[in-house]
């Protein structure tokens, strides 16, 4: 089966198999109530993809390029490779599943807000979060090792990534090790212990604290620095002048 290249194509209650998907800029694909099976191939989305109430199965890697968009509506998507979002991802009420495949690891790259995110493995797969980025989950977060413990870590060891289960969301977590991924929303797996992680897992398990990702402080340019310095010098001069005036009044009295 060859890769499919779509342009302005709707799929209504149809099942389509293809070895991969390429959606170029300016093209669109609506799955609606249909089913799209990529037979292990990768998807590259530079156009506009809409899943609707459809199903996306057999995906290797799913990549939304800068300028591309994917609206998952109320659908379900299952993949075995990387998830990458450099464009616009609209979760709706959808479910995204990352599962075992040919590779022992999958990466979550860029920043996405999922409705329902499921990371499940029978083989102790590694799910690597891109360092410096945050993944958010609004409805349900599932992380379950159904064999050896799943390992949740980062793309650059020692450089943090963040996972935020939003208020009101639920969690189903079991048999997981965490390294360098901080929980910044709800406390995750509070009744569990870290199974094989390096221990740097704030906001997880019974001994973590919820943290807030650092917010860069913008540097002041030279004009603002000059204004700030001038203001400080003026305030100091006023304070000295006021002190001399009060001293003179006291001496006269």
pLDDT digits (tens, 9 = 90+) for 180-193: 999 999 999 999 99
Sign of the four-CA dihedral 96, 97, 98, 102: negative
Question: Please, what is the Cα angle at 38 between 104 and 155, to 5 degrees?
Answer: 30
Domain of residue 253: give its range. Answer: 218-253
Domain total for the chain?
A: 2
**Around Cβ 107, how many Cβ atoms within 10 Å?**
19
pLDDT digits (tens, 9 = 90+) for 11-24: 554 556 678 999 99
Residue 81 and residue 102 in one domain:
yes
pLDDT digits (tens, 9 = 90+) for 135-177: 999 999 999 999 999 999 999 999 999 999 999 999 999 999 9
Residue 106 and residue 225 in one domain:
no
- Rounded to an integer, what distance in angstroms lies between the CA atom of residue 69 and that of residue 51? 11
Residue 228 and residue 128 in one domain:
no
pLDDT at residue 33 in the model: 84
Residue 178 and residue 235 in one domain:
no
- Alpha carbon separation from 109 to 59, 64, 127, 133, 204 (Å, rounded): 16, 10, 11, 8, 21
Q: What is the mean pLDDT of the chain?
A: 86
Residue 47 and residue 96 in one domain:
yes
Residue 137 and residue 92 in one domain:
yes
Residue 11 and residue 43 in one domain:
yes
Answer whether 181's CB lies under 8 Å from 165's CB: no
């Amino acid at each position: 089966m060859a890769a499919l290249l779509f342009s302005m194509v709707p799929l209504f209650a149809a099942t389509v198999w293809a070895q991969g998907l390429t959606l170029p800029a300016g093209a669109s694909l609506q799955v609606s109530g249909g089913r799209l099976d990529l037979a292990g191939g990768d998807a590259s989305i530079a156009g506009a993809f809409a899943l609707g109430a459809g199903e996306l199965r057999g995906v290797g890697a799913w990549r939304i390029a800068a300028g591309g968009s994917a609206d998952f509506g109320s659908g379900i998507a299952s993949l075995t490779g990387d998830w990458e979002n450099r464009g616009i991802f609209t979760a709706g009420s959808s479910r995204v599943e990352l599962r075992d495949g040919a590779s022992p690891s999958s990466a979550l790259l860029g920043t996405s807000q999922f409705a329902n995110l499921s990371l499940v493995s029978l083989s102790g797969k590694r799910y690597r979060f891109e360092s410096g980025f945050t993944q958010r989950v609004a409805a349900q977060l599932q992380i379950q090792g159904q064999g050896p413990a799943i390992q949740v870590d980062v793309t650059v060891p020692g450089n943090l990534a963040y996972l935020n289960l939003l208020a009101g969301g639920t969690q189903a977590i079991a048999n997981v090790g965490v390294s360098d991924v901080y929980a910044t929303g709800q406390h995750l797996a509070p009744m569990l212990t870290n199974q094989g992680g390096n221990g740097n897992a704030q906001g997880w398990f019974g001994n973590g604290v919820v943290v807030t990702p650092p917010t860069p402080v913008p540097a002041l340019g030279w004009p603002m620095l000059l204004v700030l310095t001038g203001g400080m010098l003026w305030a100091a001069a006023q304070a000295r002048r006021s002190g001399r005036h009060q001293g003179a009044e006291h001496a006269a009295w």
